[in-house]
């Protein structure tokens, strides 16, 4: 009997141990969700950091030329449509002024020109756009960066009527570097050729010149600022 009792006790203990191996606890399958959760958090943090880095990218004098050199390599479009509160017009950009072309398309795709204004209108001469007294425009400039572009005046382009050109910065600028956020359109017939050599033509209006003329006919006040705001409601790349 003692032998039978010992055998039964040993058998019961063995069964109990085997059962413990299958009981809930820290099994391999239980640790997997923890590992996945940690990896997911790490991935999300890396993604967010990348997005923040992209958002905080700023153009500077040192970065601009290299940036636009790379940017223009993949450009497949040469047209931008601008819609104003007087109608829309289309600008055809010149391929042989790559930095100015790339700059204009980059600002368009960043949404910079949206809700800026034609802030200077000189009768029978030009309309000039890309600025505004709105604080949002200044904020856009701070976000994109502070930089100028070198002039590119020897590509054979003249300031004919409809030519789109880039004004030079007025602040401490003996080399006539271009102000990248603004542009002007010539309305003079047949053109304003005294501007040749000083400013960089980088495109021309190919559709909607009547809209440009209508803007040029608006009444202006002191400093050639239009009496009523003339907004660029939308600028978009034309594929």
pTM, rounded to two decimals: 0.75
What's residue 51's pLDDT? 47
| CA 27 – CA 210 distance, rounded (Å) | 77
CA distances from 117 to 24, 37, 66, 234 (A): 69, 50, 29, 11
Other Cβ atoms within 10 Å of 226 Cβ, number: 18
In a 3-state reduction of DSSP, which class is residue 220? strand
HSE, CB side, 13 Å, CA atoms: give it for residue 187.
20
Each residue of 69-83: pLDDT tens digit? Answer: 999 998 888 999 999
The pair of three-digit structure tokens given for residue 59, joined into one six-digit string: 């153009």
Q: In which band, very low, low, confident or very high, does the pLDDT at 176 lie, cut at 50, 70 and 90?
A: confident
Task: Give the tokens for residue 103.
Answer: 């700059």
CA distances for 115 relative to 153, 195, 201, angstroms: 29, 28, 23
Q: What is the pLDDT of residues 15-29, one digit of tens each?
A: 444 444 443 343 344
Q: Which two tokens stand for residue 58?
A: 């700023």
Give all domains of the chain, ordered by start, each with its CATH number: 61-238 (2.40.100.10)
Q: For 25, list phi and psi in degrees, rounded to 5.
A: 165, -150
User: What's the mean pLDDT when you consider all of the chain?
Assistant: 82
The pLDDT value recorded for residue 175 is: 67
- Confidence bin at 56 (pLDDT 50/70/90): confident
**Per-residue model confidence as pLDDT tens digits over 213-233:** 999 999 999 889 999 999 999
Encode pLDDT of 29-47 as tens digits: 444 343 334 455 445 545 5
Average pLDDT of the residues in 46-74: 77
Mean pLDDT across the stretch 2-9? 45
């Amino acid at each position: 009997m003692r032998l039978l009792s010992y055998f039964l006790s040993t058998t019961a203990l063995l069964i109990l141990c085997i059962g413990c191996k299958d009981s809930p606890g820290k099994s391999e399958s239980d640790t997997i969700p923890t590992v996945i959760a940690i990896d997911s958090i790490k991935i999300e943090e890396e993604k967010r950091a990348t997005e923040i880095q992209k958002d905080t990218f700023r153009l500077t004098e040192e970065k601009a030329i290299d940036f636009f050199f790379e940017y223009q390599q993949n450009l497949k479009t040469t047209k931008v449509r601008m819609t104003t509160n007087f109608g829309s017009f289309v600008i055809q950009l010149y391929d042989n002024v790559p930095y100015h072309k790339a700059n204009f398309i980059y600002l368009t795709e960043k949404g910079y020109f949206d809700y800026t204004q034609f802030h200077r209108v000189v009768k029978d001469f030009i309309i000039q756009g890309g600025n505004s007294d709105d604080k949002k425009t200044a904020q856009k400039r701070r976000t994109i960066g502070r930089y100028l572009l070198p002039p590119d005046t020897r590509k054979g382009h003249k300031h004919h009527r409809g030519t789109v050109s880039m004004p030079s910065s007025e602040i401490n600028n003996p080399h006539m570097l271009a102000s990248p956020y603004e542009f002007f359109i010539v309305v003079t017939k047949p053109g304003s050729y005294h501007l040749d050599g000083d400013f960089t033509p980088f495109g021309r209006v190919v559709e909607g010149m009547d809209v440009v003329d209508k803007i040029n006919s608006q009444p202006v006040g002191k400093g050639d600022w239009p009496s009523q705001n003339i907004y660029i409601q939308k600028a978009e790349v034309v594929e």
